[in-house]
Amino acid sequence: MGAAVLRGERSVCGSSPREKQLESRINFNEIFKMDRIDDVALFLRVVELGSISAAARSLDLSPAVASQRIRRLEGTLGVRLLQRTTRRLHATPEGALLATQGRVLVEEFDSLAASLRASGGVGGVAGVLRMSASASFGRQYIAPLLPEFLARYPALRLSLDLDDRVVDLVGGGYDLAIRIGTLPDSSLVARPLARNRKVLCAAPDYLARHGTPRMPEDLAGHDGVLLFGSHGRQDLWHLRDGAGRETVIRMQARFESNLGEALRDAALSGLGIAMHSVWHVHDDLRAGRLQVVLPDYRLPAGAIHAVMPQRRMVPPRVTAVVDFLRERLGDPPPWERPGLSLPED
């Protein structure tokens, strides 16, 4: 499985007319000096944390030294980079441009340094790896793997952001995100980690009270437990039989939520039939707390991807974590281990 470039968004390296105007005010050649690269890395940390003191603590600097280095960077570039609001520091327009383009510069320099260290036998996987993942999947499958991953790379530090919102990888300074389902067109690069199969399921108690559907058309008389979110209300269920014939059913919601954990709890409580990813409910299926509905019909399958910004040089820490996750979550994924009966592909 190779990498794919998702098209559509403006490239992170592209410049708008406004950005070109700002670029003319910033002497980027000065940044290529070694100490200035360190100053840019400090500035990026200040923008991320909203405070020079917090950034200084995270980098083992004194606030006084950090403030002096920010002033030095502003003096070198000849522009003001930060402005204070009521509670925190924010980037000026010039600072926002530096945050975007300077991040690429710092990361590519770090990648080059890591490659040189690796070629010298010192080991190139180091620095801070910033990841984002959905709350449920990240807690169940990503977080438990990370101690083993970090044990492999003692010089690496890791920050994991678990949130169901889709974060801005470039603007937020993330190295990569783990995303589930259909990916929108973008300038990000995606690498598949594992397949994402879905099933219809319900509590045995619900099926005992309302009957077990035998055909897709039978779903019309049942209560649905439905997901809604950034892609709208997922009330159209597409089911395909063994001959490839598709039936589309619009479900009526007895309960709906934007959080997968709430949908799982509702299904376990007998509120209706839910569509779930197998990774989310496989333990409940094995234990008999949930039962697959219409097992002879397949739902559209998807994939779980690692997505990352386009870079000329991918940091070794990013390559290392993607390879590690593919190794641990690859075919067959752990949630499809033997003993679980699922509809045939």
CATH number at residue 134: 3.40.190.10
Answer yes or no: do 106 and 220 share one domain: no
305 membership: H or E segment, kind and range: strand 302-308
Answer yes or no: do 28 and 175 share one domain: yes
Say what the pLDDT of residue 118 is: 56
pLDDT digits (tens, 9 = 90+) for 273-312: 999 999 999 999 999 999 999 999 999 888 999 999 877 6
Whether the Cβ atoms of residue 108 and residue 137 lie closer than 8 Å to each other: no
The DSSP bridge pattern shows strands 236-240 and 89-91 to be unpaired
The verdict on residue 265 lying in a domain is yes
For 144, half-sphere exposure in the C-beta direction (CA atoms, 13 angstrom radius) is 8
68 membership: H or E segment, kind and range: helix 63-77
Instruction: For Cα atoms 6, 114, 40, give the angle at the middle one, nearest 5 degrees.
Output: 75
Say what the pLDDT of residue 14 is: 46
**Tokens encoding 6:** 């998702």
Say what the pLDDT of residue 143 is: 96
Answer yes or no: do 274 and 310 share one domain: no
The verdict on residue 217 lying in a domain is yes
Say what the pLDDT of residue 149 is: 96
The verdict on residue 236 lying in a domain is yes
Say what the pLDDT of residue 6 is: 47
What are the angstrom distances between the C-alpha of 143 and each of 139, 159, 302, 325?
A: 5, 11, 22, 11
pLDDT digits (tens, 9 = 90+) for 94-142: 888 888 878 777 777 776 666 665 544 435 788 889 999 999 999 999 9
The verdict on residue 124 lying in a domain is yes
Say what the pLDDT of residue 120 is: 42
- Stretches in the chain below the pLDDT threshold 70: 1-35, 86, 111-123, 185-186, 230-231, 312, 339-345
The verdict on residue 245 lying in a domain is yes
Answer yes or no: do 92 and 21 share one domain: yes
Answer yes or no: do 254 and 169 share one domain: no
Answer yes or no: do 164 and 49 share one domain: yes
The verdict on residue 227 lying in a domain is yes
Question: How many domains, in total, are found in the chain?
Answer: 2
Answer yes or no: do 20 and 124 share one domain: yes
For 61, half-sphere exposure in the C-beta direction (CA atoms, 13 angstrom radius) is 22
Quickly count helices (H) and strands (E) in the chain. 12, 16
Sequence-ordered strand ranges (E) for 104-220? 127-133, 156-162, 176-180, 189-196, 198-202
Say what the pLDDT of residue 37 is: 79
For residue 128, the tally of other CB atoms under 10 A from its CB is 15
The verdict on residue 344 lying in a domain is no
**Tokens encoding 203:** 């509590």
**Tokens encoding 284:** 């409940």
Closest CA to 38 of 111, 107, 98, 106: 106
Say what the pLDDT of residue 113 is: 67
Answer yes or no: do 86 and 177 share one domain: yes
Answer yes or no: do 114 and 29 share one domain: yes
Answer yes or no: do 271 and 331 share one domain: no
276 membership: H or E segment, kind and range: strand 273-277
Supply φ then ψ for residue 79, to 5 degrees: -140, 160
Answer yes or no: do 317 and 287 share one domain: no
Whether the Cβ atoms of residue 279 and residue 201 lie closer than 8 Å to each other: no
Domain extent for 258: 198-300
Whether the Cβ atoms of residue 51 and residue 66 lie closer than 8 Å to each other: no
The verdict on residue 154 lying in a domain is yes
Regarding pTM above 0.85, the answer is no
Residue 222: CATH number of its domain: 3.40.190.290
Say what the pLDDT of residue 106 is: 78
Instruction: For Cα atoms 188, 24, 99, give the angle at the middle one, nearest 5 degrees.
Output: 40
Answer yes or no: do 230 and 107 share one domain: no
